[in-house]
Amino acid sequence: MTTLQKGDKAPNFSGNDQDGNQHNLADYKGQKLVVFFYPKADTPGCTAEACDLRDNFERFKANNYALLGVSADSAKAQSKFKNKYEFPFPLLADEDKSVITAFGVWGPKKFMGREYDGIHRTTFIINEEGLIDEVITDVKTKAHASQILK
C-alpha cells in the first residue's frame, strides 16, 4: 500500500480528466493541491466524500487549494458523476491506473469476507513546492473537508 509520506516529493503524475483534458503535477505549482483517490464513482461513500468537498469548495479556493479526484473509472463514468453532482473540480479517469500506482493506493482489500485488489480511499495534500504535506488514509467521507482544512 501507500509508501509515500509527509515530506516526500509528490509523484510527477499525468492523467486525463472526464473531458479529456490533461492534468500534471506541474500544472499546480504555486498552489496547494488535494489529490483524493476514491474506489468507484457514484457509490455511496464516494458520493458523500466528493459532495462534502464540493460543499466546501469556496473554503478550499479561499485557502489556495486546487482539488483533483482520481479513480479507475472511465471518462464517461467520471463525466456522469461530475455532472450529476455538479462538482467544481476535475475527476481523473485513470483507467490504466498509472496515477493510482504512482501514488501507491492500489492494493489488496477486504469486503464482506472477500479479498480483492482495489483503490484504497486515500487523500494527499501537496504543497506549493510539490512536496506532500499530509497523507490521509482514514478518510471520513461525510466530513473530509474538515479533515483537510483543520
Note whether 81 and 113 are within 8 A (CB): no
Does the active-site annotation cover 46? yes
Closest CA to 122 of 17, 9, 46: 46
Element (DSSP H or E) covering residue 71: strand 65-71
114, three cell numbers = 472477500
Distance CA 138, CA 121 (A): 8
Question: 25, 35, 46, 67: which is the annotated catalytic residue?
Answer: 46
Strand order in the sheet with 91-93: 91-93, 65-71, 32-37, 122-126, 132-136
Catalytic residue set? 46
